Amino acid sequence: MRQRHAILLAAAIAAMSAFSARAEKADREKPTQIEANRMTSDEARRISIFEGNVVLTKGTLKLQAERLVVRQDADGLQHATATGSPVRFRQKSDPRGGLEGVWIDAEAGRIEIDEKAERVEMRESARVTRDKDEVRGSYILYDQRAEFFSVTSTKDAPESRVRAVIQPKKPEGEAPAPGKPGAQK
**Which domains does the chain carry?**
2-94+102-165 (2.60.450.10)
Q: Per-residue pLDDT tens for 103-161?
A: 889 999 999 988 788 888 999 999 999 888 899 999 999 887 777 889 998 876 666 78
pLDDT at position 107? 94
Q: Does the pLDDT of residue 177 top 60, yes or no?
A: no
Highest mean pLDDT among 73-77, 96-100, 144-148: 73-77
The better pLDDT of the pair 12, 147 is held by 147
Please answer whether residues 47 and 11 qualify as being in contact, where contact means their C-beta atoms are separated by less than 8 angstroms: no
Q: Tell me the range of 65-74, 87-96, 172-181 where mean pLDDT is highest.
A: 65-74
Mean pLDDT score of the chain? 78
